[in-house]
Amino acid sequence: MIASMLALWELILLMLSNLFSRLAGAKLLPPPPPPQPSTAVAGSSLACDASYCLSWRVAVETNNAQGWRTVPARCVLYIESYMLGGQYDRDVETAVECIVGYADGLVVGDDGMDAWVLDVDDTCLSNLLYYQGKQFGGAPFDPTAFKSWARRGICPAIPQVLILYKKLLERGYKVFLLTGRDQETLGATTTSNLILQGFIGHERLFMRNRTYRGQGAVAFKSTIRKQLVAEGYRIRGNVGDQWSDLQGDCVGDRIFKIPNPMYFVP
């Protein structure tokens, strides 16, 4: 009785959230063929998946789950619903509320050395439009296709993070953007993409130049942060959608995780 109640509410949740996600996503891409949960077995399986995939997503966000290469096949529909159905936006909003609450509580020195470090991809700029064509992370990472996408320079701002960015600047913090994107091939488009989307007034944009090619994200980003600290900056906060943005040396006084269940950068 209890098990069937659980299956029922999870099934209703998944079906309605999926319907909603299709309504919300209709402007972006033609909807994929609808799922066919026409039998009790399929319903029970979907219900089981909804619970499993929520647990999986929390494991990703807490960094319990590491080194995964694709979203589990049974969770692709769930992640689509999550990303397009409103909960992802709500989660980003809540993360930003935590950041603003913390940043507002600090005294910003008048020496101009209080700094924040923000990641770019899926922190400032959204790649959701790209990942819609890659099963929301259900398909393996395709470096060539991703580079083509990034070269177009049309990644939209994540609106809540743009608001945060402007608040940090208004409060007198220096903002540094730090991305693993390749400087040589993506430097110009990334710079213009950021400006077009309103990310104006940051102190510097650090990209991966030849020196750092082939280095992991933790090593590369640690080196840059150490450089900032050596210059005298106090990194008061560090914001990224990957744990590799937030680990290593000189991570900052506080780290904040922006949700991203679509890919894992080691």
Binding to its own copies by residue 63, rule CB under 8 A?
Answer: yes
**C-beta of residue 233 within 8 angstroms of C-beta of residue 174:** yes
Select the span of 20-28, 143-151, 195-203, 228-236 touching its own copies (CB under 8 A).
Answer: 20-28
**C-beta of residue 209 within 8 angstroms of C-beta of residue 222:** no
Cβ closer to its own copies: 65 or 154? 65
Select the span of 95-103, 193-201, 215-223, 227-235 touching its own copies (CB under 8 A).
Answer: 95-103
What distance in Å separates the CA atoms of residue 64 and residue 77, rounded to the nearest whole number? 22
Binding to its own copies by residue 56, rule CB under 8 A?
Answer: yes
Binding to its own copies by residue 59, rule CB under 8 A?
Answer: yes
CA nearest neighbour of 251 among 223, 231, 211, 209: 223
Burial string for 153-174 (b: 16+ CB within 10 Å, else e) reads: bebebbebbbebbeebbeeebb
Q: Which of 16, 42, 73, 145 binds its own copies (CB under 8 A)?
A: 16
What distance in Å separates the CA atoms of residue 173 and residue 196, rounded to the nearest whole number? 22
Q: In this structure, is the dihedral angle defined by the CA atoms of residues 51, 53, 57 and 59, taken in order, positive or negative?
A: positive
Binding footprint of its own copies, residue count (CB under 8 A): 43
Binding to its own copies by residue 86, rule CB under 8 A?
Answer: yes
Binding to its own copies by residue 148, rule CB under 8 A?
Answer: no
Cβ closer to its own copies: 68 or 146? 68
Cβ closer to its own copies: 82 or 130? 82
Binding to its own copies by residue 87, rule CB under 8 A?
Answer: yes
